[in-house]
Chain A
Amino acid sequence: MSIAKRVLVAEDNVVLGDVIRFNLQRSGFATTLARNGNEAIQMLTEQTFDILVTDYEMPGIDGEELCHRVRNELKCESLRIVMCSARGLELDRDELKVRLGIDAILFKPFSIRELTILLENLIIAASDCDPQLVSN
């Protein structure tokens, strides 16, 4: 039997982080919560995750910096990244996706259900090209 898909949620808004974890766990994701960018980096170096869900604006290391480090310093190339942002049109979605290797960007207020479906699809897409990810 495949192990639960491991998700790291980096969200400084405690209340929102809690409800994301609550829902993801119920959908079968092994969910870990980081309260800021520094904590997220720490966890990423210590453990392996399949998906990172990160806020864009966080104190200290923000979402953008976090993604940059994930790709360039931690070399987590197979990690799927979903970014959530309370910013709107001022963010250039396509540019961010390409530059930071982000799979999807959600704007707050987003639907928890949408997020869950998005993560499930990402896992399926990843398993199509890398069966190791879900079968080991």
Chain B
Amino acid sequence: MFVAHHNRSLTRRLSEQYLLFGLSGLFFFTVSAVYLSWHGSLLQSIPAAVGIPLVFLLLGSFVLRRTSYWHENIERQLTHFANSEDHSVTELRPLPATDALAAGWNQLLARILEHSAWNGVERRLSEAVDTQQAKRWEAVFQDLTDGIAVCNSDGRITQLNRSFATLLQRPDSKNLVGMDITDLLLGLADENSQEQIRGLGNNHATQVLEIQKSADPSQGVYRLSRTMHTGDSGGPADSIWTLRDVTQQKLAEKAREQFVFTATHELRTPLANIRAYSETLALASDIPFEQQQSFYNIINNEATRLARFVDELLNISQMEAGAITIQKHEVQLERLLSEVLESQRPVATEKKQSFDSVFAPKLPKLMADKDKLAAALTNLISNAIKYTPVGGKVTLRVDADTTRILFLVEDSGIGISADDLPKLCGKFFRSGDERVQAEVGSGLGLAFAQEVARLHGGSISIRSQLNQGSCFTLELPIR
């Protein structure tokens, strides 16, 4: 019955049904009244005359209620939804009927529920992602090698990462929160740097300082920067501090500077001699022949020294660029060793040193880069001669077993202090010992020899005792 009307509007359906039942009730009442009064039994039959139309009207009201039942249901749900506090769509219920209205409502509801379910999933996902992201940022913040601290407007630490605490040598990073950052930083600074830190003031521009723990940079040099950060609220500014340990950089810079000085000196010294002697020869025409010859020899020697230094520089710059390569071939070890020894013998003889070599009875075949190996051994031997006083002793010993070959360069020289020993293979390092300073040297030879050893899969080890002598061992694998 309802299905039949589903194309017409509710108002129309209601008014049609209302009229239908109302009119039929009125009609039956009038007909019964007329009929009964005609028979003169109106009074006796009043209950029936009223009763029948009343039944019609009751029936009508029932039908009307059925017609509007689902609409009311929807209206009630919507009113409830509108009045509820959380506007939760999950409280809306689908209708059990199968007519178009209910189907429409149910479909709509299904859509809304589906949509809201997706929203929920999305929200939970994004929450999960946000937490993950926050955790990741926190981890990144903690793991940064630069120390970072955030301070409030009073200069007290509110957040800091591990590196910051480590750089301050305070592993108890949690206890640092709330402390005054200036007080903490002053502990890293010598007097000069302390003054700089105090002088930072309230300038809003980013400030960068280099602070030093003491006049000796190896004790620690730090790069400190402060950036003011005013949040969106525009309230008092936080400050963000970063701290970086630049000690190694500083030391490398110093070593490089030192190298430039050394290199300049090393280049100028032979040049000065060459210029002085050639000028002398050019200006004075009356120099005895033998003296002339010795002057020419000196020029030649100095030029050789200059050339050797330039070679060393080239080796080092190749090393710096990682461009040294080795070509391994089978090496005729006896020949190589005798060449190296003979090239150094004149220098040792000049210093009246005993210069010996002891080889194992049968030397193995060795795969190596002949030129690089010869240069490395020459470096070690010439160092031994250089830093061994007149009349001392320099020995090259060569030992081998089935897997490796050892070249031991022993001397009775000035030795190396325990302080200098670990720094010895660093590029440009030269000991502060007066006896070392008195010799010419670039501080590059040993670094080069070590690089050659490394490229062959070998190593250089050093044993030494100050004023007693040293032993440099170059160890190479045979294949």
Q: Which residues of A contact B (CB under 8 A)?
A: 12-13, 15-16, 19-20, 22-23, 26, 57, 59-60, 84, 86-88, 90, 107-113
Contacts and interface: CB of A to CB of B under 8 A. Distances in A.
A86 B284 contact: no
B261 A15 contact: no
Give the secondary structure class of A's interface: loop
Interface residues of B, number: 22
B302 A15 contact: yes
A87 B265 contact: yes
B277 A60 contact: no
Given A20-B276, A87-B261, 8 more contacts: A12-B438, A19-B277, A22-B280, A84-B272, A108-B271, A108-B272, A112-B280, A112-B283
Interface in B324-381: none
B9 interface: no
A131 to B, nearest CB: 31
Interface in B115-171: none
Contact of B276 (A16, A90, A107): A16
B279 A113 contact: yes
Interface in B436-452: 437-438
B73 interface: no
Contacts of A12: 438
Contacts of A111: 275, 279
B268 A86 contact: yes
Given A26-B284, A57-B265, A59-B434, A86 B272 contact: yes
B24 interface: no
B63 interface: no
B274 A109 contact: yes
25 contacts: A13-B269, A13-B272, A13-B273, A15-B273, A16-B276, A19-B277, A19-B295, A22-B280, A23-B284, A57-B265, A59-B437, A59-B438, A84-B272, A86-B272, A87-B261, A87-B265, A88-B264, A107-B268, A109-B272, A109-B273, A109-B274, A110-B272, A112-B280, A112-B283, A113-B279
B276 A19 contact: yes
B298 interface: yes
Contact of B272 (A16, A26, A59): A16
A112 B279 contact: yes
Contact of B268 (A19, A20, A108): A108
A108 B434 CA distance: 22
Interface string B282-296: 011000000000010
A101 B73 CA distance: 113
B261 A90 contact: yes
A86 B269 contact: yes
A109 B264 contact: no
A97 B276 CA distance: 24
B276 A112 contact: yes
B265 A86 contact: yes
Interface centre among A16, A20, A26, A87 (most CB of B within 10 A): A16
Contacts of A109: 268, 271-276
